[in-house]
Amino acid sequence: MAVRFVKTEILSSNDGLSHGESKTLETEEVLAAKRGGSGKTLFEQLEEHKARQQEAYDANTRLIFAPPQSLDNEDVAFFEAEATRRREAARERDRNELNAFAVERSHYNAERAPEAKPVVRRKPETTDAPAIKLRRKRPGT
């Protein structure tokens, strides 16, 4: 807010010592100030300006120290969808890595042992003798 002072009177003196006479000016600047002026004193204008600044400061302070706003249903749905998308992306990445590992492993095994024969395991022959468990003696007993 710009406070403009407009010269409305000129003091004059006949003898050079006292300034008892004043002449009122009626210029365009004075008339514009009277039309657009609020008619308030400087103190009132400054108090009004100070009140507006304090109100703006208080509004800003309320915004800074306000508690966080809660999430609405749209926000919750968005965050859940985003979490689901991330989980799916992680699963897909894991699947791709496992498939790539299996392919590399099969290539490695194929190059490493081309003549490898499958191992055949035989079943142990059963006997009618009872199973005897032998215990080893501990040293020092």
Query: To which residue do tokens 């514009």 refer?
Result: 32
Give the Cα separation of 38 and 114 in Å (integer): 102
**7 is a domain residue:** no
What does the buried/exposed string (b/e) look like for 40-49 if buried means 16 or more CB atoms within 10 Å of the residue's CB?
eeeeeeeeee
**45 is a domain residue:** yes
Residues 6+ apart with CB under 8 A from 140: none
- Tell me if 77 sits within 8 A of 84, measured CB to CB: no
Give the Cα separation of 23 and 17 in Å (integer): 17
**117 is a domain residue:** no
Are both 84 and 106 inside the same structural domain?
Answer: yes
Are both 48 and 79 inside the same structural domain?
Answer: no
pLDDT value, residue 127:
62
Are both 104 and 86 inside the same structural domain?
Answer: yes
Are both 76 and 50 inside the same structural domain?
Answer: no
Give the Cα separation of 94 and 86 in Å (integer): 12
**89 is a domain residue:** yes
Count how many domains the chain has. 2
Give the Cα separation of 87 and 94 in Å (integer): 11
**120 is a domain residue:** no
pLDDT in tens, the chain (141 residues): 455 666 667 777 777 676 677 777 677 766 666 666 666 788 888 999 999 999 999 999 998 888 888 889 999 999 999 999 999 999 999 999 999 999 999 888 887 765 656 666 776 666 666 666 666 677 765
Here the tokens at position 108 are 């490695």
**9 is a domain residue:** no
**32 is a domain residue:** yes
Question: What is the amino acid identity at position 76?
Answer: V
**141 is a domain residue:** no
Provide φ and ψ at 97, rounded to 5°: -65, -40
pLDDT value, residue 1:
47
Give the Cα separation of 103 and 109 in Å (integer): 10
Are both 47 and 77 inside the same structural domain?
Answer: no
pLDDT value, residue 80:
96
Task: Provide, for the chain, the percentages of residues in helix, strand and coil under a 3-state DSSP scheme, each rounded to the nearest 5.
Answer: 50, 5, 45
pLDDT value, residue 42:
83
pLDDT value, residue 14:
74
Are both 106 and 80 inside the same structural domain?
Answer: yes
**Boundaries of domain holding 33:** 23-65
